[in-house]
């Protein structure tokens, strides 16, 4: 049962519900396996006849409780944790695509997503088309093919900070009878709940704001339960016809609205095994307990830093969807009126060299391959996360060669601004 609380309360209270005399704090079930009284009972679990735990690669109580909290926050019907955001992205697509299928993805995505879809999934026989997220509905329609199975995009793209017109993407996907998967890592459910705008499935890299302290790599997939797989059963045979590897179970028949997540768990997690360690899930849960407070401060600080940079003579350009000057200001106001994220992109007048030099002079902000944790950090995507891309691909993905990705932390904003000031001088 989903909690009927406000999001702030869910961050603190959802998930673990101790019964009388049980630990108040979510226990770490650091156990690979689970004991049963009879062999018959265990057999039923293997047949998915009964629900219960038998092996942590498939399910673990600590992991499940944390998945439930994220599920509640997003307003979904079922969720699963994965060992990384990459695994979440891969499973979310591969759960409904196979060799011979086609994926449409926004060109403004995380570099890892771009590589996964354009290189690795291609090797598995899954073709893709990358589309301009700002394209009109007519232009987007042209990208669809007979074998298109899914549309994938990010609510706020990393690192180009494109705010997705979720309703436009959902409408176009649904008019072609396929679901929209949205990576909601940067906005988090505190600022935006994509299901309310028509997205069908949400993925997260929990590594970022959800963990918030840069301790654990992790991911999550949440299903809204809204996509009618049976209605387009021919497209989604994996969900709507018997699974030979599970004694002929048909997921939509047996699990209804939980079909998608059950298949991802029973089939993909069973066979590919990208589970989070229960200890990491425990840490993730601690992060989630303060997500609402941290996200609010990240956004407040980032707004002030963005305004400082916008008015600084050394800055050539700046992108922050919270600035009125941003191309995405209107969309951000619509989809995330309380704030966007703590990440800012900007470039210096001296170009790529000046940007790199400035980063080396920062004292408080550290150069790290990370975003969205409590500490302010910087990254130069062209030399780091996106370095395998050609200049052409970089520009298509909205990543200028001089782009500095500044992840504003939750320190005192005056200290963050002073640090930037001294580095630019
Ligand atoms: C970091 C990130 C990912 C990948 O997640 P990992 O946890 O690093 O595997 C996917 N999408 C977005 C938007 C990200 O920022």
Which sign, positive or negative, has the C-alpha torsion 267, 273, 278, 283? negative
Q: Indicate which atom in ligand 1 lies nearest the CA of residue 218.
A: 7
15 lines ligand 1 (CB under 6 A): no
Total Cβ atoms within 10 A of residue 43:
13
Residue 242 in tokens: 């018997």
245 alpha carbon – ligand 1 mean position (Å): 30
272 alpha carbon – ligand 1 mean position (Å): 19
The span from the CA of 425 to the CA of 418, in Å, is 11
Pocket test for ligand 1, best of 83, 84, 85 (most atoms within 8 A of CB): 85
Residue 294 in tokens: 């941290």
In 206-363, alpha helices (H): 237-240, 251-255, 259-263, 270-272, 278-289, 291-310, 329-335, 351-361
**What string of pLDDT tens digits covers the 425 residues of the chain?**
567 899 999 999 999 999 999 999 999 999 999 999 999 988 888 877 888 898 999 999 999 999 999 999 999 999 999 999 999 999 999 999 999 999 999 999 998 999 999 999 999 999 999 999 999 999 999 999 999 999 999 999 998 899 999 999 999 999 999 999 999 999 999 999 999 999 999 999 999 999 999 999 999 999 999 999 999 999 999 999 999 988 899 999 999 999 999 999 999 999 999 999 999 999 999 999 999 999 999 999 999 999 999 999 999 999 999 999 999 999 999 999 999 999 999 999 998 889 889 999 999 999 998 899 999 999 988 888 778 777 788 787 777 888 999 999 999 999 999 999 999 98
313 alpha carbon – ligand 1 mean position (Å): 33
| Burial bucket for residue 373 (CB in 10 Å: 0-12, 13-18, 19+) | buried
Pocket test for ligand 1, best of 111, 120, 164, 207 (most atoms within 8 A of CB): 207
Whether the CB-CB separation of 217 and 362 falls below 8 Å is answered with no
Pocket test for ligand 1, best of 70, 87, 133, 158 (most atoms within 8 A of CB): 158
| Peptide bond connecting 159 to the previous residue in cis, omega within 30 degrees of 0 | yes
109 lines ligand 1 (CB under 6 A): no
205 lines ligand 1 (CB under 6 A): yes
Total Cβ atoms within 10 A of residue 419:
17
Spell out the residues 6+ positions from residue 123 whose beta carbon is closer than 8 angstroms to its own.
none
Provide the pLDDT for residue 34. 94
193 lines ligand 1 (CB under 6 A): no
Provide the pLDDT for residue 159. 87
Nearest CA to ligand 1 atom 15: 158
Q: Indicate which atom in ligand 1 lies nearest the CA of residue 206.
A: 7
86 alpha carbon – ligand 1 mean position (Å): 6
Provide the pLDDT for residue 384. 82
210 alpha carbon – ligand 1 mean position (Å): 12
Residue 164 in tokens: 């997705």
84 lines ligand 1 (CB under 6 A): yes
First to last CA, the chain: 55
Nearest CA to ligand 1 atom 5: 85
243 alpha carbon – ligand 1 mean position (Å): 30
85 lines ligand 1 (CB under 6 A): yes
372 lines ligand 1 (CB under 6 A): no
325 alpha carbon – ligand 1 mean position (Å): 27
Instruction: Using alpha carbons, list the distances in angstroms from residue 384 to 86, 148, 260.
Output: 17, 32, 35
Q: Indicate which atom in ligand 1 lies nearest the CA of residue 219.
A: 7
Ordered by where they begin, the domains of the chain are 7-286 (3.40.640.10), 292-424 (3.90.1150.10)
Total Cβ atoms within 10 A of residue 86:
21
402 lines ligand 1 (CB under 6 A): no
276 lines ligand 1 (CB under 6 A): no
């Amino acid at each position: 049962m989903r909690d009927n609380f406000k999001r702030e309360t869910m961050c603190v209270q959802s998930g673990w519900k101790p019964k009388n005399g049980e630990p108040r704090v979510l226990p770490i079930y650091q156990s690979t396996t689970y004991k049963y009284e009879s062999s018959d009972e265990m057999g039923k679990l293997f047949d998915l006849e009964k629900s219960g735990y038998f092996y942590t690669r498939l399910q673990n109580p600590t992991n499940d409780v944390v998945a439930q909290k994220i599920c509640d926050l997003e307003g979904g019907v079922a969720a699963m944790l994965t060992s990384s955001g990459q695994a979440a992205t891969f499973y979310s697509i591969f759960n409904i695509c196979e060799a011979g299928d086609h994926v449409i993805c926004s060109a403004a995505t995380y570099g890892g997503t771009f590589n996964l879809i354009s290189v690795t999934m291609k090797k598995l026989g899954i073709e893709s088309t990358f589309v301009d997220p700002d394209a009109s509905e007519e232009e987007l329609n042209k990208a669809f093919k007979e074998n298109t199975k899914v549309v994938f995009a990010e609510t706020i793209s990393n690192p180009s900070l494109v705010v997705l017109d979720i309703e436009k993407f959902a409408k176009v996907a649904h008019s072609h009878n396929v679901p929209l998967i949205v990576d909601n890592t940067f906005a988090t459910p505190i600022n935006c709940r994509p299901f309310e705008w028509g997205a069908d499935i949400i993925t997260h890299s929990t590594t970022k704001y959800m963990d918030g302290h840069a301790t654990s790599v992790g991911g999550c997939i949440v299903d809204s339960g809204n996509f009618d797989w049976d209605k387009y059963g021919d497209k989604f045979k994996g969900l709507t016809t018997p699974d030979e590897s599970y004694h002929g179970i048909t997921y939509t028949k047996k699990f209804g609205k939980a079909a998608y997540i059950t298949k991802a768990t029973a089939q993909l997690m069973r066979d590919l095994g990208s589970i989070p360690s229960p200890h990491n899930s425990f840490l993730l849960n601690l992060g989630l307990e303060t997500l609402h407070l941290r996200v609010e401060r990240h956004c407040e600080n980032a707004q002030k830093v963005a305004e400082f940079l916008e008015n600084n003579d050394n800055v050539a350009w700046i992108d922050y969807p919270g600035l009125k000057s941003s191309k995405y200001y209107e969309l951000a106001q619509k989809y995330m009126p309380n704030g966007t994220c703590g990440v800012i992109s900007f470039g210096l007048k001296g170009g790529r060299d000046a940007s790199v030099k400035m980063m080396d002079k920062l004292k408080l902000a550290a150069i790290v391959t990370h975003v969205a944790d409590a500490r302010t950090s910087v990254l130069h995507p062209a030399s780091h996360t996106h370095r395998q891309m050609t200049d052409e691909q970089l520009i298509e993905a909205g990543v200028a060669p001089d782009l500095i990705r500044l992840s504003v932390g939750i320190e005192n904003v005056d200290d963050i601004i002073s640090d930037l000031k001294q580095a630019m001088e």
